[in-house]
Structure 1
Amino acid sequence: MASLKEVRNRIVSVNSTQQITKAMKMVAAAKLRRAQDNILQMRPYAQKLGDMLATVSSGAETAADSPLKTVRAVEKVLIVVVTSDRGLCGAFNTNIVKATLQLIELKYAAQARRGNVEIFAIGKKGAEAFARRGYTVHTTYADLFGRLSFVAVKQAAEEIMRDFSSGRYDAVDVVYNEFKNVATQIIHADPYLPIAQEQNDAKTKGPEVNYIFEPGEEQILEELIPKSLKIQLYRAVLESNASEQGARMTAMDKATENAQELLKDLKLVYNRTRQAAITKEILEIVGGAEALKN
């Protein structure tokens, strides 16, 4: 049985850990509120911009001329993996890594065997996980979530688009967590490039519409397609940020509960050990008194 001093030290240690997990839960809750507001404001804009792009490109004669729509035989693949920079958020990062490995196995197994699958990591944890597994980590955008802004994500999107347009990669996918609620995140593995040819719903559900483009069809698409891709990636990063804070809040709440249960058990052990020590001392005193009497 552990000594009283050892049990006392463990109680102090667990108490300190519980205070830390409580503080981290409160910080995550505050960050979650801001992150949730950001993603709720972004979703309608991103959806509307995507619909606009689908409508314009479906009616544009030069829509297929964009290099970002060029469909090539898939030889080299880039997978954008959005994880966190820090741990202590449950299975948040592990689930993303597993989903990415599953995507590679099911969709890009042949390219992976030839070493033609590279990782574009947004977040340190994803970069570290795939580097350990021997994958080529093309770029790591670390510490992005500490200063999360559209400008930083825009640079990442522009780099991805340049590499695709130059022919360095033939396909780009994005793997990220979509925020549903504090306890639930939905993993998405979405194609990013080339842009899929969208069919305008108006052509199937209503009369055909002839669009008048001002200043011009080609100029509008040159501006709209890159902007839509940047917003799409920015939304994925915002979704991941909100999901991370929700996962961390849940993990720290569970850790605090576990610490409380552990404290109950340790206090019970402490009381039993203390009582056993007192009983032993009493027996020794009684035994000594009996020995003196005899």
Structure 2
Amino acid sequence: MANLKEIRNRISSVSSTMQITSAMKMVSAAKLKKAQDAITAMRPYAEKLTELLQSVSATLDGDAGGQYTTQREINKVLIVAITSNRGLAGAFNTNVIKQTKELADSYVGKQVDIFAIGKKGNDVLRKTNTVIDNKNEVFDNLTFENVAAIADVLTEKFISGAYDKIEIVYNQFKNAATQIVITEQFLPLAPVATDKPISGGDYIFEPSKEEIVLTLIPKSLKTQLYKSVRDSFAAEHGARMTAMHKATDNATELRNQLKLTYNKARQAAITNEILEIVGGAEALKG
């Protein structure tokens, strides 16, 4: 059994750790509320924009999307991996990194590069894959304009022919305890499959439907990427809050066990001292 000083040091260390994890939990809980409100407010707009784009484009010819819908032979693939800049969030970053590697391995014989958004994904993926860029600074000021600039870069890489396909891997926020790893195709735009006949006789389009679609597509792409980053940002704080909550509970349990061990060791030490005193007194009598 460890001596009393060692046990006291461990109790002090565990208590300090518990204070840190508890503070991180409260900080993440506060940030989560704001991030959750942002993604909850944005989803209806993003979904309605996508629905509008699909409704209009479904009445057009298959090539109405122009350069955004061009289906080329897939030789070069770019995977956008969205992680976080900080750790201590459970399996949040690990799940995205694992999914990114599996997706990259599925393109056998193809050139697969990584576009990292987040420091953690960049640090791990560059060891085994080719990371062409890292935009971890976007989380310092998460605005639509900053994310839209990244979307423009990705779109230009596809239009110029640098890559034939671009996919996004990120954590979708469901609730504070649940994050779902999602893989979405960014470019080219997948053809819309619908079983419902769409009639264009009820609406008058000004300008033409073709112009509307070509105007909506870039906005839709920027909104899609912004929603993905926002989802990941909210999921990060949810994962960190849950991880720190569990860490605090584990630290509390460990501290209580150490206190019990300390009391037992202290009681044993006192009992030994009493026995030594009694034994000494009996020896003097003899």
Question: How does the TM-score come out when normalised to structure 1?
Answer: 0.92
Give SS of 1:64's match. Answer: coil
Unaligned runs of 5+ in 1: none
**Distance 1:219-1:193 versus aligned 2 partners, 3 A rule:** same
> Amino acid of the residue matched to residue 46 of structure 2?
A
**Distance 1:68-1:35 versus aligned 2 partners, 3 A rule:** same
Answer yes or no: is the 8 Å Cα contact 1:64–1:70 preserved in 2: no
CA distance in 2, matches of 1:109, 1:247: 33
CA distance in 2, matches of 1:17, 1:72: 54
Task: State the Cα distance separating 1:273 from its structure 2 match.
Answer: 1.0
> Amino acid of the residue matched to residue 253 of structure 2?
E
Counterpart of 1:32 in structure 2 is: 32
Higher mean C-alpha deviation, range 284-293 or range 58-67: 58-67
Q: 2:243 aligns with which of 248, 251, 275?
A: 251
1:145-183: per-residue Cα shift (whole Å, max 9, x none)? 232111111111111001111110000011111111111
Task: Say whether 1:109 aligns with 2:108.
Answer: yes
Q: 1:129 aligns with which of 124, 127, 140?
A: 124
Answer yes or no: is the 8 Å Cα contact 1:79–1:172 preserved in 2: yes
Task: State the Cα distance separating 1:65 from its structure 2 match.
Answer: 5.3
CA distance in 2, matches of 1:45, 1:206: 24
Task: State the Cα distance separating 1:284 from its structure 2 match.
Answer: 2.2
Counterpart of 1:180 in structure 2 is: 174
Q: 1:221 aligns with which of 213, 224, 234?
A: 213
CA distance in 1, matches of 2:30, 2:78: 34
Task: State the Cα distance separating 1:143 from its structure 2 match.
Answer: 3.3
CA distance in 2, matches of 1:205, 1:198: 11
Higher mean C-alpha deviation, range 184-193 or range 55-64: 55-64
Task: Say whether 1:233 aligns with 2:232.
Answer: no
> Amino acid of the residue matched to residue 233 of structure 1?
L
Task: Say whether 1:189 aligns with 2:210.
Answer: no
Q: 1:209 aligns with which of 169, 186, 200?
A: 200
Task: State the Cα distance separating 1:215 from its structure 2 match.
Answer: 2.7
Question: How does the TM-score come out when normalised to structure 2?
Answer: 0.94
Task: Say whether 1:94 aligns with 2:89.
Answer: no
Identity of aligned pairs, percent? 55
1:34-66: per-residue Cα shift (whole Å, max 9, x none)? 111111111110011111111222233585352
Answer yes or no: is the 8 Å Cα contact 1:83–1:240 preserved in 2: yes
CA distance in 2, matches of 1:65, 1:207: 18
Answer yes or no: is the 8 Å Cα contact 2:64–2:210 preserved in 1: no
Task: State the Cα distance separating 1:207 from its structure 2 match.
Answer: 5.7
CA distance in 2, matches of 1:18, 1:62: 59
Give SS of 2:174's match. Answer: strand
Give SS of 1:215's match. Answer: coil
Matches within 5 A, 1:42-53: 42-53=42-53
Counterpart of 2:163 in structure 1 is: 169
CA distance in 2, matches of 1:151, 1:27: 26
**Distance 1:176-1:140 versus aligned 2 partners, 3 A rule:** same
Q: 1:120 aligns with which of 101, 107, 115?
A: 115
Answer yes or no: is the 8 Å Cα contact 2:65–2:213 preserved in 1: no
Residue correspondences, number: 285
CA distance in 2, matches of 1:33, 1:237: 16
Answer yes or no: is the 8 Å Cα contact 1:182–1:249 preserved in 2: yes
1:51-109: per-residue Cα shift (whole Å, max 9, x none)? 11112222335853521211111111100111111011111111111112222233x12
